[in-house]
Each structure stands twice: as structure tokens, then as C-alpha cells.
Amino acid sequence: MTAPLAALQWDVFCRVIDNFGDIGVCWRLATQLAGQGQQVRLWVDDASALQWMAPDGCPGVDVRAWDAPVPAAHEAPPDVMLEAFGCEIAPEFIAYSAKQKISRGHKPVWINLEYLSAEAYVERNHRLPSPLLTGPAAGWTRWFFYPGFTPATGGLLREPDLMARREAFDRSAWRAAHAAAFGLCGIGPGHRWVSLFCYEPAALPDLLRQCQAQPTQLLVPPGRPTAAVQAVLAEGRSEIALQRLSDNREQLSISYLPHRPQAAFDEMLWACDFNAVRGEDSLVRALWAGQALVWHIYPQHDNAHHDKLWAFLDWLQAPASLRQFHATWNGLDSAPLQWPDDGTLSEWTACIAAARARLLTQDNLVAQLLGFVAEKR
């Protein structure tokens, strides 16, 4: 067993490509490292989302602009350099680190934290070295580190107390508070709660229409999800009735939510019966929530996301109905969207709960990173 890692200086690098997934993952990583006693400098080219994602900051995490000067002489040099998603650390910082290596006598552990996937190549490439042949860091090694869903990968981000907080969560109280905040009425045991964090799925009109089969409270985060829903409604689809919940069972109520901190986003997922999520960070959080979900995978121009989606569904051991729902939701086929009845929804929830149970037997991503760094130092 690896001995506990002494407090080290981690420099984590993040470029925000689009949406909030890059900074969301990196912020969770940084705060969980800090929670384990590590010191973290988070270098990011656009930290604006942290104003609502993490308004209170985090002790032990120092957020710095991507183009800020390298650390001053009185500051600790990096023990670990971690670049997220192949963002390529600035040449100035690499040169600074190489100079520090000369004076300190040892170089930092350099990690390239890759994207999440269930595809077979992840297990093959996890922890592989990539020697640097040129530049000020010539002769160093950069290590590939792959998050993943199996014991042969780097695992997933998970706070040590996450499941305890999930277990203690009062769903009824959360729903009542939400209803009061949005002036809703008539919300009872027979109402289905759904979160919608998506891009612009072609099947969205079908989902909105079918949500009326039973009273449904739809929670829509800001940004692209809100714009997508409002674009559908603007098309004048009169068959979509948008009313407050009442005794009428043919009703759909939509709540357009403000931006919220990460912990509050997690609670929204815990409060819902079904979560539509997208990208990487919200998929992982929906798995920890343990409720039925559909993943809107980030589309790629060469359709490489198709194989990635099928690999995830294979690992998930998804029933045929959930696989078909994913295919339609992600535009992989033109089959009609089949909104689940209560029995099907229960089957989907059981599938996610079983997958979560498998994940909980594995070390989380931060624990594995700490062990890896202790090994390489």
C-alpha cells in the first residue's frame, strides 16, 4: 500500500474550450486535491464560470490567469504539473520548471489528464509514458492518465463524503423549497421530476410533448439547454401545453434555473427521477446521483462520439430500451423517442444504481493520482 503523500505543490492547467465541462472538471479536481492537504495553483484561460460555479473559492486552491507570470522566487515551484485534456502547458512555464529542476535536483511529475471514455484504448494507454525529446524539458517524461469506469483505469472524481451527503439528502424538502421559490402548486407523489442539461437534441420536441403523459416538473439549467427549449416553444408547437402543475394530468411545468454552484447542481440531480446530462462532468455526477439518466455526448464532426457512446452503454450494461433512448436522443438514428413509463424508468434507475455500486468498489481519481505521484517521485 502506498504511504500517504506529503503536501506537494500541484500546478493544474485548464483551457476552457466551450461550455463549462473543462473548468468544472478541473475545479472539482483542484478542490479534492486541496481536501487531501495538497496545494494547488489552477491556471485557466477563462475563469469567469467560477464566479457562479464556486463563488466562495476553496482554501488551498489559487486560481491564476493562463498568461500570468510564472511563480515568484518566494513561491513553491511545482512538484506536479498536470495538464487537463491535452491543453499544452505554456512554454514559459516549462522553461521555468526546467530551471527550477536544475537548482532543486529533481523534476516535477508531469501528467496529461485525458478525456473520459469507456473505450478499450483507455485501459491500454493508461499510465503510459511519453518522453519529451526537445525543448527545455528534453529527457523528461509526460505520463498519460486516463479517467475511466474500470479498475484498470484512473477512476472518477468522487469526494470522500459524497455518498454520505447523498444518503442524507432530503429530496422532499428540496422539491418543496423549489416549488415555493417558483410559485408552483399541486406537486405530489405522482409527479415526475426531470432535469434537462443538454445541447440541442433533435428529439427535444418529442420529449417535451411526451412529458405531458403525466404531470412533470422540468428543470432547465441556463445557457444552451434554456435556449434549446425556448427555441422549440418559439416554433409555435401548440400541442406542447406549458402550464403550472395542477390536478390536470396532461401538464408540463418548466422551471428555467439560474446558474448554480457545483454542490447545488449535484442536489438538483439528486432531487430528480430522471436526469438528462451532457459532456463529462455532469455524466459523472449523474452516475453518483444514482437516478435514471440519458447522456447527450459531445458531438464530433467525424462521428467518433458514436463508438464512445456505445462503449459507455456496454459498460453500463444498459437495457435495450435505454440504449435505444440514447441512440435517438443523440441523433444516431431516426427512431421515435420512447419516453419511459414507470416500470421502464425503474429499470433504468436500477441499471444506474448497479453501475454506481461497481464504481464505488474502485479508488477515485484523486486517490489514484496521489498514489501515482508518490510512485513516480
pLDDT for the residue 304? 76
> Both ends of the chain: CA-CA distance in Å?
15
Nearest by Cα to 227 from 16, 15, 19: 19
pLDDT of residue 245: 31
User: pLDDT tens, 306-315?
Assistant: 999 999 999 9
Q: Is the Cβ–Cβ distance between 10 and 43 less than 8 Å?
A: no
Q: For the segment 239-290, what is each residue's pLDDT rounded down to a tens digit?
A: 554 443 332 335 788 999 999 999 999 999 999 999 999 989 999 999 999 9
* Residue found under cell 498568461: 67
Of 37-41, 102-106, 229-233, 282-286, the poorest mean pLDDT is in 102-106
**Banded pLDDT at 183 (limits 50, 70, 90):** confident
At residue 5, what is the residue type?
A: L
What domains appear along the chain, each with residue ranges and CATH number?
Answer: 9-155+363-376 (3.40.50), 162-359 (3.40.50)
How many other CB atoms sit within 10 Å of the CB of residue 336? Answer: 11
Residue 53, pLDDT score: 96
For 151, residues 6+ apart whose C-beta sits below 8 A from its C-beta are 361, 362
The yes-or-no verdict on residue 124 having pLDDT over 50 is: yes
- 203-236 pLDDT, tens digit each: 999 999 999 888 899 999 999 999 999 999 887 6
Position 18 scores a pLDDT of 72
With a pLDDT cut of 70, the percent of the chain lying above it is 94
pLDDT at 185: 67
Contact call for residues 292 and 275 (beta carbons, < 8 A): yes
C-alpha atoms less than 13 angstroms from C-alpha of 256 in its C-beta half-sphere: 10
Tens-place pLDDT, residues 146-161: 999 999 999 999 999 9
The size of the chain, in residues, is 377
Q: Report how far residue 258's alpha carbon sits from residue 250's, in angstroms, rounded to the nearest whole number.
A: 26
User: What is the average pLDDT across 322-326?
Assistant: 98
Q: Give the integer Cα–Cα distance in Å for 131 and 310.
A: 32
Mean pLDDT of 140-145: 97
Q: Is the pTM of this model over 0.85?
A: yes
Query: Among all residues, which ones are annotated catalytic?
Result: 22, 280
pLDDT value, residue 196: 97
Residue 29, CB half-sphere, CA atoms under 13 Å: how many?
31
113 has pLDDT over 70? yes
Reference 352, options 147, 114, 149, 115; nearest CA is 149
